[in-house]
Structure 1
Amino acid sequence: MRARLIGGFTVAGLVVAFAIALFASPFASSSPDGMSRVAINEGFDHRETASPIEDSSPVGGYTVKGINHEQIGTGISGAVGVGATFAIGLSAFHGLRVVGRRRNRVSAS
């Protein structure tokens, strides 16, 4: 019962995250925020350099290379980010679970 509840909660969370990524993120403001805004305000934005990861990534710059429609590219990029984050988190938790089980077996023997 508990596993089913956790699974349902996880699936519901993923559906909401994918929906936001696909349908809301394309309408996010393109105005600079965070560190970009501080750099502009403090006058050192001209020293910004492009990240080599951004140039080589298929979803660099919050768009998808090959998709010329900016809003669609942003939505797909957001969905890829949600999927990648979930996969990394799931892998990490699975790894921790395996390590925990091994430790329990060693300490029980």
Structure 2
Amino acid sequence: MKLIWIGLAVSLAVGALLSLAASPHPDGLERVAEDKGFLETAVGTPLLHSPLPDYVFPGIANERLATGLAGFLGTLVLFALGWGLGWLLRRAARPRGA
């Protein structure tokens, strides 16, 4: 169990620190849309609204801090989802009445 918490701590540090090295430039598809001039003419609404748009924690003026927090929070959410899935699978694998 201790190894899991160490892994989580390392993952959170990596998620927070490496997110600071992410490129501020648009990804390939967005860049092509900008270069060809059709990004602004896109029609429609997104299927899902992102809780962390553009990988930045909303409401924080310091961009580096907002990006680091987004990496930290994203790592924490994925850990919680993985932990929960593992718990459900272990529970489902137990024989009834055990």
TM-score in same-fold range (> 0.5): yes
**Superposition map of 1:1-109 within 5 A:** 4=1, 7-8=2-3, 10-37=4-31, 39-40=33-34, 44-46=38-40, 47=42, 51=46, 52-54=48-50, 57=51, 59-101=52-94, 104-105=95-96
CA offsets 1:12-32 (integer angstroms, 9 cap, x no match) = 322222112222211211122
Higher alpha-carbon Rg: 1
When the two structures are aligned, how many residues end up with a matched partner? 95
- Cα distance change on mapping 1:70 and 1:93 into 2, 3 Å: same
Identity of aligned residues (%): 32
- Greater relative contact order (CA < 8 Å, ≥ 6 in sequence): 2
| Paired residue secondary structure (2:68) | helix
CA distance in 2, matches of 1:12, 1:81: 17
Aligned CA RMSD, in angstroms, stands at 2.6
TM-score, with length taken from structure 1: 0.68
Structure with the largest fraction of helix: 1
CA distance in 2, matches of 1:19, 1:95: 27
Gaps of 5+ in 2: none
Q: Return the letter of the residue paired with 1:26.
A: L
TM-score, with length taken from structure 2: 0.74
Q: Return the letter of the residue paired with 2:80.
A: A
Q: Return the letter of the residue paired with 1:73.
A: A
